[in-house]
Chain A
């Protein structure tokens, strides 16, 4: 495919050139950051600089940043390892990423917090489900399928009001929206590098000072004894550099991408019959989710792929077969609608031209896909 247009940044965004350069520099030298010799010290220094830079962009203290292998591990660690003293129950929203939702299914005491049909947490009903047993409340900052921004500061407040800890999966928020950890009131926050132009393979769990997390893996006791294993310095440097670039231009990019998001939604609703937007304000500037009634989402993806557009359904697949989106089901959509929905997600290379080209093709593609199902 020549001239392909990548509209799947929420799955993974290309590594920014600045991040690639930072990684290349680190990959060129030896050293385990835990070693005491000169090479080890140099590696340790680069690692701590990355941590400090990242902490600054997260609105957190450096000591609160625990590097992990990515968002999934950070979420697992929070869900399995963090509870308010003496409490076992975990309360999670119904629209969490599989790295939270799948952990939830392994836990004995769970409360599932409902969402409105807009995809936003139903804060009143959610609050009613919290109580004396609640040990941890976990609500994502931005939903990975719809882009809906969740009221995490209010969640943190309600959690604390019943004496529970509050965690948020901010993987789709960091780099796209202002994420101030200290200001948010949260106790724990998960982030990932490759959603904002950093490398795949590194993320972090931000742990408020004084909050105890029990490790889930064991070894050399790196990362404040919370996450054993040699820390990949080059990946950390790439992560910090990408975050610095993304956060530096966050406001301008958010303005630019919001306009593209609104353009795509308005254009699709105007030109394609029986279309519904699953992305409602407040929402991420970079994610659009649309239902084209009567299609198989896979067929639309195939036709878009053939036309040079990379998009996604945003939901998990089993052996390459897409399942109806659990997120859209939780928002009250039918199974048919949840199987007829696609996600388009934007990044630095997304332009008005990409959106207009997409809008030029979509009506015909949707019509063809409808005839195939």
Chain B
């Protein structure tokens, strides 16, 4: 098979590419240039857009003896991921840019370009497992639950999955991947993991958003509308957030207060006690399916963040809307997040959370 290995410069994608070479595939490495100004990310925290990362990816490709290219997707990334991220926050929602990047860039624009150039699949270092059967390809959690990344792949559809490879998902623990990288002589074996959002290498998401959305002072109110304090812009707040509220009126019961809701139209942030964060019903829009589209009601598991728990739920699909009834209440679920549904360890599909209810 002719495989395009997306190489971030990190240890996972390098080992993934190495395994494909071992398996006898015709592998070409590509590093995605996602920043319009790569020099800006040269130092500081690990991102996926720095010159250093592209160098590390190139050196890994050298060690594997495969061709290597840098593909410039900076413009697409700025539009589809960064601008979307800012707009979602401006609208009071909490997006997941990694998921969006997988959906719009890695397994869309990159895959389409690769397929047009004659490649059969795109491979990444994600920890997830693909299973092939006569019915098609299905996506599953990785064998190593602590590293499972199936959540951020939950937006992929059957066609995308048919042309994807995740060589690390089947049997691999992170320590084993590092050891394998070292044994293969890859110099990036000891490179630290990336955690931050790649286009915010400082980790200061609020600062990043404020620089783009400005300062828009407003009120922090309780559930009855009583003003408890002031804020500099609703985009600095996420449902479930507890820190950074700086309330001038102490809570009557002395218990911590959390962000319950963000309303950019009225420019208010609503806060309240933890029990008010409890969510039993999740409404979702824009459903995607990893296989045949699903309809009707069924029992499954739902996960709402990358490293969140899988929560038992009844999932009901009607038209282009998904209604999720959780068995047990969950806390801190924000509109904009993706709800990914599972059948056991198999990913069924995803939806973007539009609203929540108790």
Question: By the criterion CB–CB under 8 Å, are A302 and B38 in contact?
Answer: no
Query: B72 at interface (Cβ–Cβ under 8 A)?
Result: yes
Q: Which residues of the partner chain B approach A303 to less than 8 Å between Cβ atoms? A: 117-118
Q: How far is the CA of A319 from the CA of B31 in the complex (A)?
A: 10
Known: A319-B51, A320-B33. A298 touches B117 (CB 8 A): no
Contact of A320 among B54, B116, B117, B118 (CB under 8 A): B54
A23 → chain B closest CB, angstroms: 26
Number of A-B contacts (CB under 8 A): 43
**SS of A interface (majority):** helix
Q: Please tell me if the beta carbons of A302 and B69 are within 8 angstroms of each other in the complex.
A: yes
Asked if B70 is at the interface (CB within 8 A of a chain A CB), the reply is yes
The secondary structure that dominates the B interface is mixed
Q: How far is the CA of A212 from the CA of B208 in the complex (A)?
A: 53
A347-373 vs B, CB cutoff 8 Å, 1 = contact: the mask equals: 000000000000000000000110111
B243 interface hit (Cβ, 8 Å): no
Residues of A near B58 (CB, < 8 A) are: 320
Pair A318/B118 contact, Cβ less than 8 Å: no
Enumerate chain B residues within 8 angstroms of A321, measured Cβ to Cβ: 33, 70-72, 74
Q: Is the CB of A302 within 8 A of B33?
A: no
- Report A-chain residues with C-beta under 8 Å of the C-beta of B72: 298, 321-322
- Is the C-beta of B67 less than 8 angstroms from some C-beta in chain A? yes
A39 touches B (CB below 8 Å): no
A302 near B70 with CB under 8 A, answer no
The listed residue with most A CB atoms (<10 A of its CB), out of B28, B38, B51, B72, is B72
Quick check: B28 and A368 within 8 Å, CB to CB?
no
Chain B residues near A319 (CB, 8 Å)? 33, 38, 51, 54, 70
In the bound complex, how far is the Cα of B31 from the Cα of A42, in angstroms? 50
A303 to B28, CA, bound (A): 11
B-side interface residues, number (CB < 8 Å): 18
Residue contact B116 to A372, C-beta cutoff 8 Å: yes
**A368 near B117: Cβ-Cβ < 8 Å:** yes
Residues in B with CB closer than 8 Å to A102 are none
Of A299, A321, A372, most B-chain CB atoms within 10 Å: A321
B113 within 8 Å of A by Cβ?
yes
Contact with A along B64-88 (1 / 0, CB 8 A): 0001011110100000000000000
With a CB–CB cut-off of 8 A, which chain A residues contact B117? 299, 302-303, 368-369, 372
Task: Say if the beta carbon of A306 comes within 8 Å of chain B.
Answer: yes
Contact A320 B28, beta carbon cutoff 8 Å:
no
Could you tell me the distance between the alpha carbons of A368 and B72 in the complex, rounded to whole angstroms?
19
Give the docked Cα–Cα distance between A265 and B113 (Å).
Answer: 28
What is the bound-complex CA distance between A373 and B38, given in angstroms? Answer: 23
Q: Which residues of B contact A306 (CB under 8 A)?
A: 28, 67
Q: A305 is contacted by which of B33, B38, B67, B113 (Cβ under 8 Å)?
A: B67
Q: Mark B1-34, 1 if CB is under 8 A from A, else 0.
A: 0000000000000000000000000001001010
Residue of A nearest to B115 (CB): A372
Q: Give Cα A303–Cα B117 distance, bound, in whole angstroms.
A: 7
Q: Mark B29-43, 1 if CB is under 8 A from A, else 0.
A: 001010000100000
User: Can you give 8 contacting A-B residue pairs, CB < 8 Å?
Assistant: A298-B71, A299-B113, A302-B28, A318-B38, A321-B72, A321-B74, A371-B116, A373-B116
Give the B-binding residues of A (Cβ under 8 A): 298-299, 302-303, 305-306, 318-322, 368-369, 371-373
19 more A-B contacts (CB under 8 A) besides A319-B70, A322-B72? A298-B71, A298-B72, A299-B117, A302-B28, A302-B69, A303-B117, A303-B118, A305-B67, A319-B33, A319-B38, A319-B54, A320-B33, A320-B58, A368-B116, A368-B117, A368-B118, A372-B117, A373-B113, A373-B116
